[in-house]
């Protein structure tokens, strides 16, 4: 029996309900912040480096911790995951053990802030960046969270001075990405004066330098991921009357590239730089057929394909990568690809209650 994760269900419900972009509206006094189209749950990093990153593909825990949330983070070797608040903007985020889901720590949002919106790992599974937003001022702020080896915070999150960006919140998952060592932060947002104008802003955390790249008309970016070189980004774009596309950005030159992963009915369901960054791996689905492909940045061609088990065309799926390891969840099956080895397990969303 298929058991889609609660995260996917919430994401679908949010997408269906978001005819109006909430951060364009002024909330009534005394009412909770409006819900955004995208769901923030934990958000393992888009900084895909050889070091293991936190990888979270899950059926979420219930709000009271009474039922289990199974995470695939341990498949990538991560110790901890940072679980963002639900709904986005709630007053705290949480650190959980990647293997058991045990709550390790609660991370209160800064007083007077919007609450945390996005979370990303910088690649070491110990240093994370979290965002807060001020819709009235059209500003997004970045906060650094460091964890000790036991998963406990090394202090409260601290705002990174000089890094705040003048942007509206973007849409979709993976709006923020931290490069290895948290040297640079990429944020996918929208122009303050033009909500339909998608942008990617890259911030140097040492100097505060901002570089803004404007996307093609109506295109909005999501699912940002850094290459190990800390220079190139891979991301997806969507928009009104636009098909989903996979793109790259050279953050030094501002050059945008478009990646073709096939024709016909092929649909993109996630992508990331892998290994040393010479290839991008992506999950491509077409009807009942599913496969992972490797795209060479040098030759601009697909150099390898691994077919996965067929599934219903509308089966839920998730994709993540860490180093040379790729983890794919389709319906209730988990496929882990490491080099030439492929293992498949059933993903069971039931178990004992969390401690």
Q: For residue 194, what pLDDT is reported?
A: 86
Q: Is 326 helix (H, G, I), strand (E, B) or coil?
A: strand
pLDDT band for position 183 (cuts 50, 70, 90): very high
1 falls within a domain? no
Q: How far apart are CA 134 and CA 23, in angstroms?
A: 9
Q: For residue 56, what pLDDT is reported?
A: 36
Is residue 64 over pLDDT 50? no
355 falls within a domain? no
User: For residue 28, what are its two tokens?
Assistant: 């009534």
DSSP letter, residue 153: B
Is residue 267 over pLDDT 70? yes
247 falls within a domain? yes
Sheet holding 279-286, edge to edge: 267-274, 279-286, 289-296, 302-308
pLDDT band for position 141 (cuts 50, 70, 90): very high
- Taking only the tens place, the pLDDT of each residue in 206-257 is 999 999 999 999 899 999 999 999 999 999 998 876 788 999 999 999 999 9
Q: For residue 71, what pLDDT is reported?
A: 67
Q: For residue 6, what pLDDT is reported?
A: 41
Q: For residue 52, what pLDDT is reported?
A: 31
352 falls within a domain? no
Average confidence (pLDDT) over 167-174: 87
pLDDT band for position 348 (cuts 50, 70, 90): low
Q: Which residues contact 329 (CB under 8 A, 6 or more apart)?
A: 57, 72, 316, 317, 318, 319, 347
pLDDT band for position 100 (cuts 50, 70, 90): confident
Q: How far apart are CA 51 and CA 40, in angstroms?
A: 24
DSSP letter, residue 76: G
Burial of 252 (0-12, 13-18, 19+ CB in 10 A): exposed
353 falls within a domain? no
Domain limits for position 305: 6-346
Closest CA to 102 of 141, 152, 65: 65
Which of 86-90, 109-113, 213-217 holds the top average pLDDT?
213-217
Average confidence (pLDDT) over 29-43: 32
Is residue 110 over pLDDT 70? yes
- Bond prior to 87 in cis (omega within 30° of 0): yes
Is the separation of the CB atoms in 283 and 317 below 8 Å? yes
Helices (H), 18-158: none
User: For residue 79, what are its two tokens?
Assistant: 């110790």
Q: What CATH number does the domain containing 99 carry?
A: 2.120.10.30
Q: For residue 239, what pLDDT is reported?
A: 81
pLDDT band for position 25 (cuts 50, 70, 90): very low
Is residue 105 over pLDDT 70? yes
Q: For residue 4, what pLDDT is reported?
A: 36
Q: For residue 330, what pLDDT is reported?
A: 94
Q: For residue 85, what pLDDT is reported?
A: 66
Q: How far apart are CA 136 and CA 263, in angstroms?
A: 43
Q: For residue 264, what pLDDT is reported?
A: 67
Q: Is 75 helix (H, G, I), strand (E, B) or coil?
A: helix
Number of structural domains the chain divides into: 1
73 falls within a domain? yes
- Taking only the tens place, the pLDDT of each residue in 296-335 is 999 999 999 999 999 999 999 989 888 899 999 999 888 9
Closest CA to 174 of 251, 235, 87: 235
Q: For residue 74, what pLDDT is reported?
A: 72
């Amino acid at each position: 029996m298929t058991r889609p994760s609660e995260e996917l269900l919430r994401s679908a419900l949010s997408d269906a309900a978001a005819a109006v972009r909430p951060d364009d509206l002024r909330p009534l006094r005394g009412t909770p912040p409006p819900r955004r189209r995208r769901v923030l749950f934990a958000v393992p990093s888009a900084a895909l480096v050889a070091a293991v990153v936190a990888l979270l593909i899950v059926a979420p825990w219930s709000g009271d911790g009474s039922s289990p949330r199974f995470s695939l983070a341990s498949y990538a070797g991560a110790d901890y995951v940072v679980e963002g608040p639900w709904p986005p903007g709630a007053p705290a985020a949480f650190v959980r053990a990647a293997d058991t889901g045990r709550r390790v720590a609660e991370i209160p949002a800064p007083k007077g802030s919007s609450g945390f919106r996005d979370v990303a790992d910088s690649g070491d599974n110990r240093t994370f960046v979290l965002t807060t937003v001020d819709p009235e001022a059209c500003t997004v702020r970045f906060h650094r969270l460091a964890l000790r080896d036991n998963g406990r915070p090394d202090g409260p999150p601290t705002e990174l001075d000089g890094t705040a960006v003048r942007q509206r919140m973007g849409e979709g998952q993976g709006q923020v990405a931290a490069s290895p060592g948290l040297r640079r932060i990429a944020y996918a947002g929208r122009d303050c004066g033009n909500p339909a104008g998608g942008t990617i802003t890259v911030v140097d955390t040492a100097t505060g330098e901002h570089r803004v790249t404007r996307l093609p008309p109506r295109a909005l970016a999501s699912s940002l991921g850094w290459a190990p070189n800390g220079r190139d980004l891979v991301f997806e774009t969507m928009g009104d009357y636009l098909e989903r596309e996979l793109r790259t950005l050279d953050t030094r030159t501002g050059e945008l590239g478009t990646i073709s992963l096939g024709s016909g009915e092929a649909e993109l369901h996630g992508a990331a730089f892998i290994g040393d960054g010479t290839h991008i791996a992506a999950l491509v689905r077409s009807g009942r057929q599913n496969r992972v492909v490797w795209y060479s940045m040098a030759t601009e061609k697909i150099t390898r394909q691994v077919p996965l088990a067929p599934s219903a065309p509308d089966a839920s799926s998730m994709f993540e990568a860490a180093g040379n390891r790729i983890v794919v969840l389709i319906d209730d099956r988990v496929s882990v690809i490491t080099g030439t080895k492929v293992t498949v397990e059933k993903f069971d969303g039931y178990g004992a209650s969390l401690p």
